[in-house]
Amino acid sequence: MDPITIGLAFTAAQAAVSHIKQAIALGKDINSLVGQFSKFFDSADSIHREKIKQRSKGIRLGKTDSELGKEALQIAMHSDALREAERQLKDMIIWQVGKPQIWEDMIKERTRLFKERAEAEKEEAKREVERKKKVAKQCMFAMCFVGFSMFVFCIIMGGVAFYGTLEEKRLIEEKNTKAHMIRYQQAKMREIEQKKELDNYAKN
């Protein structure tokens, strides 16, 4: 939560406390204040949770020491003030209204909701870990596939280059062989012509 959201949550909790106190002072039925109690507990709990989150390293990223100190002080003061307000509400319901069972029931319900939310957050965190593992595996598979593809591509290109070299060598050898045969045939023909010339010269 950013400082503005924290301030709004604290203001909402204070407003709910003020409304509850006024209603109790006027003798209104405590059961009609369920919405205000819910608003107070929701706002107060969000600040209490933020106080716990401040101990984690993740919330410190991207913030200066001054910002962290200011937020920590703000959250700590708000959290302590709301815990004191909660104690005052408890005392009013038990001693002024005379209905301690209502407070106990609210705390039981609040505890139940805490547990459900904690379990839900735990499951969500577990799903997030599994999702990250799955993404990591997919990335690893993709990297392996790309690496293997590059390896196969290099082998193929190397084979093509090797085949091209062999084919070029064969063509050169074939060309040289043909040239050698032509020179050999030309030499034989010259030899035959020279022999004919010698025979003609001997006859004359």
Mean per-residue pLDDT, 182-203: 78
Q: Is 94 within the bounds of a domain?
A: yes
pLDDT above 80 (res 3): no
Contacts for 10 with CB less than 8 Å, ≥ 6 apart: 43, 47, 78, 81, 82
Q: Is 75 within the bounds of a domain?
A: yes
| Lowest-pLDDT choice from 9-18, 33-42, 53-62, 81-90 | 53-62
Per-residue pLDDT at 197: 75
* Residue ranges making up the domain that contains 91: 1-98
pLDDT band at residue 59 under the 50/70/90 scheme: low
Mean per-residue pLDDT, 162-166: 84
Per-residue pLDDT at 189: 84
Q: Is 32 within the bounds of a domain?
A: yes
Per-residue pLDDT at 88: 92
Q: Is 128 within the bounds of a domain?
A: no
Q: Is 7 within the bounds of a domain?
A: yes
Total domains in the chain come to 1
pLDDT above 70 (res 17): yes
pLDDT band at residue 73 under the 50/70/90 scheme: confident
Per-residue pLDDT at 19: 92
Counting residues of the chain whose pLDDT is more than 70, the rounded percentage is: 92
CB 43 within 8 A of CB 61: no
Mean per-residue pLDDT, 172-178: 85
Q: Report which of residues 103 and 3 the model is more confident about.
A: 103
Q: Is 201 within the bounds of a domain?
A: no
Q: Is 190 within the bounds of a domain?
A: no
**Euclidean distance between the first and the last CA atom of the chain, given in angstroms as a whole number:** 125
pLDDT above 70 (res 11): yes
Per-residue pLDDT at 55: 62
Q: Report which of residues 131 and 66 the model is more confident about.
A: 131
Q: Report which of residues 170 and 52 the model is more confident about.
A: 170
Q: Is 147 within the bounds of a domain?
A: no
